[in-house]
Amino acid sequence: MYTLAELADRFGLGFTGEAGKILTGIATLAEADAGEIAFLANRKYLPQLASTRAGAVILPPALVECCPVACLIAEAPYLAFARISHLFDKSPRPAPGVHPAAVVSPDAQIHSSVAIGPNAVVEAGAVLAAGVELGAGVYVGHDSRLGAGTRVLPHAVIYHDVHLGEHCVVHAQAVLGADGFGFAPGPAGWEKICQLGGVRIGDRVEIGACTTVDRGTLGHTVIADGVIIDNLVQIGHNCRIGKNTAIAGCAGLAGSTTIGADCTLAGGVGVVGHVHICDHVHVTGMTMVTKSITEPGSYSCGTPMMSTRNWKRNAVRFSQLESIQKRLAAMESRTGQPDKG
C-alpha cells in the first residue's frame, strides 16, 4: 500500500492529483479500479485513457492533459511500470534454510542465507552464494556455482560444472549443462564425443521454462550478463551469447554459434552452427539464419501467410521460379531488353 506521492518519490516521477491517494495494486487501463495504478506506454491504447477508472496512470508528460485521473509522469512509462511492478509481486519464495526433505552434500558450500526447497539435491563441490533460492526438486550438480541472489524455480536441472552469476532467474524444467550433440561417424554408427566443457553464465540472466543450454565440448558455452531467454529455447554447445541479447520462445541455436550484444531473436528463429552474428542485430520470427551477419540491422526470411487456397497456387509457382526467370530472360532477349538475371 503506497501513496501517490510515495511512488513518485521512490521512482523519481512527477505526479498530478492528490498526494495522499492510496494505491494497492496495478492493472491494465481497461481493468484498473480506483485503488490501482495503470500505465500507458503505447499510443494504441490512448482511446482507453479517457474512460479509465484507474486511481493513477503512469504516462509520458505529453499525455498528462488527456488523463482524467491522477498521473505518475515518466519519460519512460514502460520502464516505470516495470520498476513499480516489483512492489506488488507476491510470488511465494522457498523458506530460508534447508528443507528437511532436501538432499545436500556435506561437501557443498552453502551460504547461511540460502533457501533450499523440498527434494532439492545439491552435490559435492557446489557453491551457493548469499540469498540463493532453490525451489522444490531443483538439482545442482558437482562443482556448479550459483552467485548471490540467483533463484532457481522448481525442478530445473543444473548439471556439473555450470556457473551462474548473480541475480539470475532459472525457470522450471530448464536444463543447464546437458551434453552437446556431438558424435563422430564410425564404422558401426555414431560414436559419442564426450562433452568435457562446462557452462558459464553471467549476472542478471533469465532462462525460461524447458529451455536447454548445452555444455561445451572443449571449452565452455558462454552467456553474458543481462541476457534474457524465453521458454523452450535450445542453446547448443559452445555457443557464445553477448550482453543484453534477448531470445524469444522456441528459438534454437546450433553448436558454436556466436551472437553479439544487444541482439534480439524473435520466436522460433533458428541459427545454424558455426556462424557469427554481430551486435545490434534483430532477426524476425521463424527466420533461419544460415550464414554470418556482419552488419547491424533487421533480417528475415519466409513467405507471407495467406489462405491455403491462394498459398497452394503461389507455392507451386515458387517451385517454378527458376524456369519463370528463364522464360522472362528469353522474352527480354527476343524483345531486345538486356537480361539482368
Identify which of residues 6 and 332 has a Cβ nearer to its own copies in the complex: 332
Task: By CB under 8 A, tell whether 304 contacts its own copies.
Answer: yes
Compute the CA torsion angle 51, 53, 56, 62 (nearest 10 deg). 0
16 part of the interface to its own copies, by CB under 8 A: no
The residue from 17, 35, 60, 154 that contacts its own copies (CB under 8 A) is 154
Q: Is 202 in the site for its own copies (CB under 8 A)?
A: no
22-23 and 97-98: which strand pairing? unpaired
Integer Cα distance of 260 and 100 in angstroms: 44
Q: Applying CB under 8 A, which of residues 5, 63, 127, 136 lies at the interface with its own copies?
A: 136
179 scored as a contact of its own copies (CB under 8 A): yes
Q: Is 278 in the site for its own copies (CB under 8 A)?
A: no
Q: Which residue, 64 or 328, is less far from its own copies as judged by CB? A: 328
DSSP 62: G
Counting contacts by CB under 8 A, is residue 246 touching its own copies? yes
Stretch of residues binding its own copies (CB under 8 A), selected from 8-16, 54-62, 64-72, 266-274: 266-274
Is 237 known to be catalytic?
Answer: yes
* Cell representation of residue 220: 565452455
- Asked if residue 228 binds its own copies (CB under 8 A), the reply is yes
CA distances from 140 to 20, 33, 144, 178, 325 (A): 48, 44, 7, 12, 58
In whole angstroms, how close is the CB of 44 to its own copies at the nearest point?
9
DSSP 14-50: EEES-TT-EE-EE--TTT--TTEEEE--SGGGHHHHT
Please, what is the Cα angle at 134 between 133 and 140, to 5 degrees?
Answer: 125
Q: What does the radius of gyration of the chain's CA atoms come to, in whole angstroms? A: 26
- Residue 151 phi, psi dihedral angles, 5° rounding: -115, 135
Q: Which stretch binds its own copies (CB under 8 A): 10-18, 49-57, 63-71, 184-192?
A: 184-192
Q: Which is nearer to its own copies, 18 or 97 (CB)?
A: 97
Residue 45 interacts with its own copies (CB under 8 A): yes or no: no
**By CB under 8 A, residue 306 contacts its own copies:** yes
Question: Which position among 163, 171, 220, 237 bears the catalytic label?
Answer: 237
| Residues assigned a catalytic role | 237
